[in-house]
Amino acid sequence: MSELCRVFGLSQVLCLQEVQENHYREEIRPALSTLGYSCHYKRRTGRKTDGCATFFRTRRFSLLRESHVEFFRPAIDVLNRDNVGLVLLLRPVLPPEEGADGPRPPSLCVANTHLLYNPRRGDIKLAQLALLLAEVDRVSGTAEGRHCPIILCGDLNATPNSPLYQLLHNGVLNCHQLPAWKVSGQEQYCGAPHPRTLPFPLWPDLLGVNDRCQYNSTRPPKVKDRRMYGRQRLLELRYCDCALQRPPNLLVIKGVTESKPDPEAAAAQPGIFPVLPESLLRMPHLLQHHLQLTSAYTHFLSAKDRYEVTTFPLGIGSTVDYIFYSAEPVPTCNTNKGLRIFQDGHLKLLGRLCLLSEDDLWAGQGLPNPFCCSDHLCLLTRFSLDLSAP
């Protein structure tokens, strides 16, 4: 077959959050194991008794790597909560007649997490998400410097119009003077606004994660002696590449805003203009990632002209649960309400289970109700994975 394609729905991969450890060991794992699932669980740290669980059908996938992500770091204030993540690297299992001579199927990275709820502490949520994305970046990375297809599921405790959602979808977020209680878009649960803004940097260097949500390949060497900047050294810095970035319409004033050194300065320091490190040339207060993720759901029910709802706390419908997957950005300058536009790549979205609106949940006595014992609605999608992709 020139183009191999197999359909894997979420009936082949299950991601659950808030799973009690005793329920998992005594009921869920035995039941799903008999159905042919491989079961993987990560309990929250500390004294928490629940965690994240991921299951996959062994006749469809084999496990290449399993990574448990603990967000609690005792030496880092912004990572002082017990939430966790679970990242699996899977490989599709081909039939014997196709697997022998056919191309090697691509891996699939499945991430599952439950971020902190506290709507006031957006700084903690961003740090947890950055740490998860760094682990996904490491696990899904290929030898060619690309990423295999990714599916990221979980309760992110953030709404679709929130800055945290924008970071995940757009791949970039400006954190400058952003109030921590606005990060997740859950202001209605915060009570009185809190004055805390996001600190810069969000986490210390000892975490080993940079502002691109990647692990640092090497740790910066310790500085034994610091350079003392005198007047002459500062004069040299006037004409470095970083200092010569001028607005295009800036009025040129001799000796003030010209972009070339005067003859006397050039003669004094011929050809000596220091090159600043890349870390100083990047814009501050920016969080970024390069995983190219988009949501499988649109978060809006066009037929009902209502927003989708995944949970119903305090009688208020809200969306906090998501399935993100790898896609390809559309090369256009237009955006959809400030969000990047994507198109399907190696993973193609074939269908999804329709969610309900807040009006529907009110009619059904909210959540949980006699028909749904959980306080969250389940999300279900079907994807096709191009097995002939490199």
Task: Spell out the domain ranges in the chain.
Answer: 5-200+285-386, 229-284
Q: How far apart are CA 130 and CA 85, in angstroms?
A: 12
Cis preceding linkage at 368, omega within 30: yes
Q: How far apart are CA 64 and CA 136, in angstroms?
A: 14
Residue 101's pLDDT is 62
Q: Residues, the chain, total?
A: 390
By C-alpha distance, which of 138, 131, 83 is closest to 109? 138
Burial class of residue 99 (count of CB atoms within 10 Å of its CB; 0-12, 13-18, 19+): middle
Predicted confidence (pLDDT) per residue in 42-101, tens digit: 999 999 999 999 999 999 999 999 999 999 998 899 999 999 999 999 999 987 766 556
Q: Which residues pair with 382 in a beta bridge?
A: 9, 351
* Secondary structure (3-state) at 166: helix
H helices of the chain, where?
21-23, 29-34, 96-99, 122-140, 163-170, 231-237, 263-268, 278-281, 358-363
Q: What confidence tier does 190 reach under pLDDT thresholds 50, 70, 90? A: confident
Q: What confidence tier does 361 reach under pLDDT thresholds 50, 70, 90? A: confident
Q: What is the pTM of this model?
A: 0.80
Largest CA distance in the chain: 84
Predicted confidence (pLDDT) per residue in 15-49, tens digit: 999 999 999 999 999 999 999 999 999 999 999 99
Q: How far apart are CA 173 and CA 39, in angstroms?
A: 35
- Mean per-residue pLDDT over the chain, rounded: 83
SS3 content of the chain, % helix, strand, coil (to 5): 20, 30, 50
Q: Which residues pair with 108 in a beta bridge?
A: 90
Domain 5-200+285-386 has CATH 3.40.50.300: no
Q: How far apart are CA 342 and CA 170, in angstroms?
A: 10
Mean pLDDT of 369-378: 86
Higher-scoring residue by pLDDT: 321, 228: 321
Higher-scoring residue by pLDDT: 105, 320: 320
Say what angle helices 122-140 and 163-170 make with each other, to 10 degrees. 20
